[in-house]
Structure 1
Amino acid sequence: MNMTKLRASLRVSGFVAAVVAVTACTPMTRFNGFAPAARELAQVQIGQTTRADVVTLFGAPTSDGGMRSDTIYYVASQFDRIGPFAPKEVDRTVIAVRFDSAERVRNVTRYTLQDGRIVQLDRRVTDDGIEDIGVLEQLLGSFGRIDAGSFLGAEGGGF
């Protein structure tokens, strides 16, 4: 009787392990950002559409080109992650909309990963001054600052 229970539990355990192994290897896809599709970009007329029109049509850009204020960018990326491995970028689209001095569209360019071009975007990251420390470092760092009186609940910090 015990041998049949053992075999049954081994079968269930094997089935659970197989299901976990298969689901762990299933790719998970994550999408970031927004880049207008070609049919949406067809609404933009070179020399006629203004910067305000582009922002109205597509929303706020991902970046405004930093020092080059004549260009705005829309960026969309797709990442696949399989099991415990780091995510891998499998698709990226960058739409660069350039404007002339009158704030009218001068050029619209689409870049993808296959183009192999690096498009430097303005990140404008401000350092918050807070160091990234782990929980263990926080516990060890505060270990010497414990006041015995407040720890034991005594008033006035003494006994």
Structure 2
Amino acid sequence: MIGITKRLSGALAAMSLLAMTACSATYKNHGYIPPEEDLQQLVVGVDTRASVDDVVGPPTMGGVLEGGDYYYVRSRIREYGMFRPEVVERQVLAISFNETDTIANIERFGLEDGQVVPLSRRVTDNSVVNNNFIRQMISNIGNIDPGQIFN
């Protein structure tokens, strides 16, 4: 009887430990922001695009046009159990250049500076949307030509 009680209490302790670790938050880091020491080496109005590449490395993303500004982006995402992942920290470092290709400005933005931007999609109507496999099979029953099957 004592052996069963020990096994039961051990199994209960293991399940409790598993439940506690399954519900702990995990964090994922994405992207890269140059350290402040490297940014201190850049001089606005003096350093060029090439010197920025040498000192802090290539950007995460560049401006849309060729010769556009540099953007370094880093995000920290928290995943907690079954809940939707949440962005808890985001930093954007923007280095803009003037027409002579020297640094015009260095700006840092955080998640608190951001605004929600509504995106719009213009998509051609698709007849397959909201049709599952069985619905598509049933809708094709009338489209079968027996002459093609028994050719």
TM over 0.5: yes
Partner of 1:25: 23
CA contact 1:97–1:107 (8 Å) conserved in 2: yes
> What pairs up with 1:37-48 in 2 under 5 angstroms?
37-48=35-46
Deviation at 1:43, TM superposition (A): 1.2
Deviation at 1:87, TM superposition (A): 2.0
**Superposition CA RMSD, Å:** 2.0
Partner of 2:101: 103
Report the CA distance shift for 1:97/1:78 in structure 2 as closer, same or farther (over 3 A).
same
Moved more, 61-70 or 107-116: 61-70
TM-score for the superposition, normalised by structure 2: 0.71
Partner of 2:142: none
Partner of 1:51: 49
What letter is aligned with 1:9? R
Partner of 1:66: 64
Partner of 2:80: 82
Deviation at 1:118, TM superposition (A): 6.2
Deviation at 1:37, TM superposition (A): 2.9
User: Which segments of 5 or more consecutive residues in structure 1 lack a partner in the other structure?
Assistant: 120-136, 138-159
Partners of 2:54 and 2:37 in 1: CA distance? 16
CA contact 2:23–2:81 (8 Å) conserved in 1: yes
Cα deviations across residues 78-100 of structure 1 (Å, max 9, x unaligned)? Answer: 11112233321110110010001
Partners of 1:80 and 1:23 in 2: CA distance? 15
Partner of 1:146: none
Identity %: 31
2:111 is aligned, of 104, 110, 113, to 113
Deviation at 1:12, TM superposition (A): 0.9
What letter is aligned with 2:36? A
Partner of 2:90: 92
Deviating beyond 6 angstroms after TM superposition, the runs of 4 or more aligned structure 1 residues are: none
What letter is aligned with 1:91? E
**3-state SS of 1:107 partner:** strand
Partners of 1:107 and 1:71 in 2: CA distance? 10
Report the CA distance shift for 1:95/1:30 in structure 2 as closer, same or farther (over 3 A).
same
CA contact 1:111–1:117 (8 Å) conserved in 2: no
Moved more, 38-47 or 102-111: 38-47
Deviation at 1:48, TM superposition (A): 0.4
How many residues of Structure 1 are paired with residues of Structure 2 in the alignment? 118
User: Which segments of 5 or more consecutive residues in structure 2 lack a partner in the other structure?
Assistant: 118-132, 134-151
Report the CA distance shift for 1:85/1:116 in structure 2 as closer, same or farther (over 3 A).
same
